[in-house]
Amino acid sequence: MASKMFLVTGGAGFIGSAVIRELILNTDYRVVNVDKLTYAGNLESLAPVESNERCYFEQVDICDAGEIKRVLNKYQPDYVMHLAAESHVDRSIDGPAEFINTNIMGTYTLLEFCRACWSGLKSVAPETPKGVDQYRDLIMFVADHSGHDQRYVISAAKIERELGWCPQESFDSGIRKTIH
């Protein structure tokens, strides 16, 4: 029986290549690396596994619906790890459209084709607990909090009190220096 297949997007990036090396060197999984090879992709980081027969590479843009469909149909992965993303902040300032296209539309394209590929599969969810007809019956809805939830307010009081640290900039002065 063939081992499970992982599809890893962004597999030539810093994190993706580490994931692929781990999977190939320390498991019996097969891995298909889907990467557009932009400024962040570096196939040299995959040198330790590039000749492994369980490692495949597809130079594909996740925004290309036809290519994503082809790759999913060809490899029929058991798992998808989506790590492809535009992430360099300074590039987002000069070219925000590419970030929106890759990070939102590319993710949407990938999710839609994964959903389509897997929609006919038998559910892998475990059986529901005794006395429960559907997992939905286990969901407990609670009323929303009115206003801002103070439990999530960021405060430097503890670090000031315990370590004597205080910020050099207030929020307002930091914003003024950041946005000019």
Q: Give whichever of 56-60, 70-74, 78-82 has the largest mean pLDDT.
A: 56-60
Q: Read off the pLDDT of residues 138-151 as tens digits, 9 standing for 90 and up.
A: 777 777 666 666 66
Cα 30–Cα 33–Cα 38 angle in degrees, nearest 5: 170
pLDDT band at 119 (very low <50, low <70, confident <90, very high): confident
Closest CA relative to residue 7, chosen from 126, 119, 123, 117: 117
Q: Give every CB contact of residue 140 below 8 A, 6+ residues apart in sequence.
A: none
Structure pTM? 0.65
Instruction: Return phi, psi of residue 162, to 5°.
Output: -85, -30
**Domain ranges for the chain:** 5-118, 135-178
Of all residues in the chain, the percent with pLDDT exceeding 70 is 87
Q: 20 near 11, Cβ under 8 Å?
A: yes
The chain-wide mean pLDDT, for the chain, equals 84
Report the pLDDT value the prediction gives residue 146, as an integer from 0 to 100: 65
What is the widest separation between alpha-carbon atoms in the chain?
62
Kindly report the CATH class assigned to 5-118.
alpha beta
Q: Which is more confidently placed, 104 or 131?
A: 104
Q: Read off the pLDDT of residues 129-176 as tens digits, 9 standing for 90 and up.
A: 777 777 677 777 777 666 666 666 677 788 888 888 888 888 788 888
Mean pLDDT for the stretch of residues 116-125: 64
